[in-house]
């Protein structure tokens, strides 16, 4: 494993949102874990900006429906994958690098009875062990920012898609160049590397063969969401300490606060991309 990918797995191994903290919350609220349904997890396992509505937007963009075969790149704890399986009737294969996330995704998926429709496997999105043309859609949410050699991941999405299949994903973008100190802070705190701007992302998508369908600027929508997320992280830090689960290191909170400020100032933001593999 390279130093870059090791930094990402280290970051998510210590991330305060974990399967353990999700299950601790559910036990506290319900008193037990018997009879869990997918909906019981939705308030806890959607570790991306925009919650369930963001899943729906990607599903529409990617054309996900009953019987769809979907790959979720950087699937994390599998929250969006379970949602797409439960609400849309898709079969979802999640690709995730961090062992703790893969194990957590399996546990949560089993507890809600979706283990025959959702599979999260440990793999690198730059070398995906799926057959050529085997997927109808590929999705990802706020994760490519961690991936070195990003074009390789986009090329893998292109390879595993059938002709006419779509890649729909959200990610951080920069609107103005970051300072070296901000770049270093985002790397040290959140393993974020070489953030794209919308044009560079479009260029990379075209370079591997995609046709761009749409690009949506999410910056103004993200600004209040991120402010709320920062407050949530501060509360969660205390909660994880009490539960004895990972709380994240100090640099995470410093860098996240700076990220929120950069989005509020318009220097950074987010975008939703949809691209199609030509017929």
Partnered with residue 216 across adjacent β-strands are 272
What is the structure's pLDDT at 35? Answer: 96
Domain assignment of residue 243, given as a range: 3-276
SS3 state of residue 279: coil
CATH number of the domain at 263, please.
3.40.50.150
Whether 74 contacts 96, CB under 8 Å: yes
Q: Split the chain (279 residues) into runs of 10 and give each run's mean pLDDT.
A: 76 89 93 96 94 98 98 98 98 97 98 98 97 98 96 98 98 97 96 96 98 98 93 79 72 91 97 98
What is the model's pLDDT at position 154?
A: 98
Per-residue exposure over 228-245, b if at least 16 CB sit within 10 Å of its own CB, e if not: ebeeebeebeebbeebeb
Number of folded domains that form the chain: 1
pLDDT of residue 221: 96
Nearest to 174 by CA among 255, 265, 253: 265
- The pLDDT assigned to 253 comes to 86
User: What is the reported pLDDT for 4?
Assistant: 62
């Amino acid at each position: 494993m390279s130093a870059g990918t090791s930094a990402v797995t280290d970051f998510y191994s210590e991330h305060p949102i974990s399967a353990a903290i999700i299950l601790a919350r559910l036990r506290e609220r319900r008193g037990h874990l018997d009879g869990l349904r997918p909906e019981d997890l939705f308030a806890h396992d959607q570790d991306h900006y925009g919650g369930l509505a963001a899943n729906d937007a990607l599903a529409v963009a990617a054309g996900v429906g009953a019987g769809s075969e979907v790959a979720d790149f950087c699937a994390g704890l599998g929250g969006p994958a379970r949602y797409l399986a439960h609400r849309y009737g898709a079969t979802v294969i999640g690709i995730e690098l961090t062992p703790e996330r893969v194990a957590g995704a399996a546990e949560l998926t089993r507890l809600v009875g979706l283990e025959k429709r959702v599979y999260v496997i440990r793999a690198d999105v730059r070398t995906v062990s799926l057959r050529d043309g085997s997927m109808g859609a590929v999705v990802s949410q706020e994760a490519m920012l961690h991936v070195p050699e990003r074009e390789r991941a986009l090329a893998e999405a292109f390879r595993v898609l059938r002709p006419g299949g779509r890649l729909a994903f959200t990610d951080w973008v920069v609107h103005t160049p970051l300072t070296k100190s901000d770049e270093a802070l985002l790397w040290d705190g959140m393993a974020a590397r070489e953030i794209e701007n919308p044009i560079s992302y479009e260029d990379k998508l075209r370079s591997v063969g995609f046709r761009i369908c749409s690009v949506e600027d999410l910056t103004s929508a993200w600004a209040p969401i991120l402010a709320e997320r920062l407050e949530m992280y501060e509360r969660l830090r205390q909660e994880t300490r009490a539960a004895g689960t990972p709380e994240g290191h100090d640099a995470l909170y410093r860098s996240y606060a700076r990220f929120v400020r950069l989005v509020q100032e318009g220097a950074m933001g987010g975008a939703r991309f949809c691209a199609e593999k030509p017929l």
